[in-house]
């Protein structure tokens, strides 16, 4: 994976983390779905990085 793609993955993950921390309150269904999406994106990024090593 080239460095540009890695930067995009990191930027998206950082943005999602920032948004999730900004909305600290009781979790509803949208927040739970967002966390699942965050985890999926993080896992996909890790798998891509491992595959390109």
In the predicted structure, residue 24 carries a pLDDT above the cut 80: no
Q: What pLDDT, on the 0 to 100 scale, is given for residue 34?
A: 92
Backbone angles phi, psi at 27, to 5 degrees: -75, 130
Half-sphere exposure of 4 (CA within 13 A, CB side): 0
How many domains does the structure of the chain reveal? 1
Global confidence as pTM: 0.48
Q: What is the pLDDT of residues 28-48, one digit of tens each?
A: 888 889 999 999 999 998 888
Domain that holds residue 24: 3-51
SS3 of the chain: the string is CCHHHHHHHHHHHHHHHHHHHHCCCCCCHHHHHHHHHHHHHHHHHHHHHHHCC
């Amino acid at each position: 994976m080239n460095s540009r793609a890695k930067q995009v993955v990191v930027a998206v993950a950082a943005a999602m983390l920032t948004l999730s921390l900004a909305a600290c309150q009781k979790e509803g269904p949208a927040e739970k779905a967002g966390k699942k999406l965050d985890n999926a994106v993080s896992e996909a990024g890790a798998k891509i990085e491992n595959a390109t090593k």
